[in-house]
Amino acid sequence: MPTLEQKTAHAYKYCMAIAKNHYENFPVASHLLTRKLRYPVSAVYAFARTADDFADEGNYNDHERLKLLNQYIDELDQISGSLDKYSGNNKAEFLHQSESSIFIALADTIYRFQIPLQLFYDLINAFKQDVTKQRYQTFDELLDYCRLSANPVGQILLYLNKSASKENLEHSDAICTGLQLINFYQDIGQDIDENDRLYLPLEELSKYQISIDDIKNHLNNDKTQAFFKHQLNRTNKLYDYGKPLCSNLSGRFAIEIRMIFSGGKIILNKLEKNTHSIYQRPRLSHFDKFRIILHGLFSYT
């Protein structure tokens, strides 16, 4: 029978493989992060990535998707129960009982870095919302979704880096919400075409006299461009509110965060310059990637 250390090491390697093999950009396998952070971050990523796939990928129906996500909630409940019931020495009991490599690694990460469990519940609730909700009436509803889907990721990273001060958490939320909104704007066409999802406030679309069918038909005119410009201006202000985080951190982790911030800012600027092509996803050039590296190496100004 493997020891606790062997079981935990195998679980982290499993999570790292998920992180390295997936197409999506995420600071998991980055060599800018120390080994101490890479493995815990990979556990968080594996948890979030697989849960997100339950909501979006495969041939599951909605009932099956929610059932899979609820199983993840059950696993979190098991971690929560062990935290409430046992002292730190009894962590081994939970780890040996669990059959999931992802949750073995995640439990170890949560215990070692004292990460609030609610952040993981929030992520699952966001994925469940992806299954059950396709329209958002107001911008505040979209912000509530971002609070569940995006903000926990930044907060978890700060806990892993032991830099989760109130100020840093607040600035991180602004950046993460901004990044989520940017992702919505660059994928408008894909979201509506593939999943019939529209992450735009319906009451504001109505104000600009734009219908859902207009978006489905990829209508691009003065009204859609004015609407889109308003969304981007508001997001830019929110995103910039989080900029102090780039200066408040230090070491390799700071470089990683500055690069993430810079990449989001460049995409946002590209969207602002191309409101006439709102259904076309902007691409990063080699020069853009060079700028991101420079912004990572030096304090963002």
Q: Which two tokens stand for residue 190?
A: 């894909």
Look at residue 192 and tell me if it is in a domain. yes
- On whether the pTM is more than 0.85, the answer is yes
Who's near 116: CB < 8 A, 6+ residues apart? 155, 159
Q: Please say whether the beta carbons of 14 and 105 come within 8 A.
A: yes
143 and 83 fall within a common domain: no
* Portion of the chain with pLDDT greater than 90, in percent: 67
- Both 144 and 274 in one domain: the answer is yes
What is the domain-level CATH number for residue 23? Answer: 1.10.600.10
> In what helix (H) or strand (E) does residue 204 lie, and over which residues does it extend?
helix 202-207
CA dihedral (21, 25, 27, 30) in degrees, to 10, reads: 60
Q: In this structure, are 160 and 193 located in the same domain?
A: yes
Q: Give the residue numbers spanning the domain of 249.
A: 133-301
Residues 161, 296 share a domain:
yes
Domain stop point among 65, 81, 114: 114
Structural domain tally of the chain? 2
pLDDT, one tens digit per residue, over 23-81 is 444 444 466 677 788 899 999 999 999 999 999 888 899 999 999 999 999 999 988 87
Q: In this structure, are 25 and 70 located in the same domain?
A: yes
Among candidate residues 47, 80, 114, the one where a domain is terminated: 114
| 281 & 170 share domain | yes
Asked if the structure places residue 257 within a domain, the reply is yes
Per-residue pLDDT of 222-243, as tens digits, reads 999 999 999 999 999 999 999 9
